[in-house]
Amino acid sequence: MLPVCRVASLQDSTSYMSIQRFPLAAIQQVRQYIQHALIVDADKQSQVWVGLDDVDDVPEPESLDDLSGVFTFGGLSPEEIAAPQTRAHWSISTVNPAAALLKLPGLRLKPDWRLVSYLYRDGESRAGLVFALPAELATTAQLAESLGTSESFKQPPAPAGALADVMEAIDGDRSTVSFLVASIFDRELREFGANGHFRNWTHHRLIDSVPAQVKWQWQTEQPKDLAPKTKVMPDGQALVEFFTCRVSGGVGIYRHVDQYPAAQYKPKRLNKLLATVQR
């Protein structure tokens, strides 16, 4: 579990009210935790295999920083790590994206499904993809088969049996907090493994008020309430709304609205630019 003191503010906000607002700091910490769980680096690539069944045996972390290496699986030999990779290529990643779900409030992976990941490397540039597969198709041999036709970034792997949207494999308790966490998890998955010009969501900072450092030119009416919030309808549908400030590659304030159908965690996503820096 996440450290209790870190998650309490989120969990305490969950109630039977139809609309819930959440502390920005708590959502930021959840995002940081997910980023740590999905981190890609040479140290993690060299770790020994840790399967999902073995995760419960790992000592409880003391802080978010301690979570960074708990959940990776797979491993490359020292020779593979040291070998220069000059040709752009896709490869199977050793990171298990589903590991983050084990400690996120309200969310879980559906039974008999697995999340698998691939990495694309081109010199120092890197991007990634995450797929949801039936457990019987998530073997290394099956994943490797899809690499045969993946010769460029525009020809990514397409493993057999993968769902069209990873979030179709996600389930939860339908609590208000679960939908907000799902929206953050979804966006972090889509940015998995990326650096440099492959990044987009990484440049967005969660906000609950308009940054005062610059003057803004609003393209629509300025919202009065920027707090992260969730609304659950009587029919089981849910709406999530939160705001970000993009700090690089076109500074702006964005509104993000995700609409979740009843009994699903695959949302319809709306990301709308509201304001740019006044020139």
Mean pLDDT of 19-47: 81
Q: Kindly tell me if the per-residue pLDDT of 248 is higher than 80.
A: yes
**Residue 85, pLDDT score:** 52
71 near 52, Cβ under 8 Å? no
- What value does the mean pLDDT of the chain take? 81
**Residue 41, pLDDT score:** 61
Q: Kindly tell me if the per-residue pLDDT of 19 is higher than 50.
A: yes
Least confident among 51-55, 116-120, 171-175 = 51-55
> Percent of the chain, pLDDT > 70?
76
**Paired strand residues for 92:** 118
Between CA 255 and CA 253 the distance in angstroms is 7
Residue 2 pLDDT grade (very low, low, confident, very high; cuts 50, 70, 90): very low
Between CA 17 and CA 164 the distance in angstroms is 33
The larger pLDDT score, comparing residue 169 to residue 3, is at: 169
**Residue 86, pLDDT score:** 58
**Residue 46, pLDDT score:** 35
Residue-wise pLDDT tens digits, 227-247: 999 999 999 999 999 999 999
The pTM for the full model equals 0.78
The larger pLDDT score, comparing residue 56 to residue 191, is at: 191
Question: Nearest 5 degrees, angle CA 191-CA 82-CA 120?
Answer: 25
**Residue 52, pLDDT score:** 33
Least confident among 93-97, 148-152, 252-256 = 148-152
Residue-wise pLDDT tens digits, 183-229: 999 999 999 988 877 888 989 999 999 999 899 999 999 999 999 99
The larger pLDDT score, comparing residue 11 to residue 127, is at: 127
**Residue 25, pLDDT score:** 96
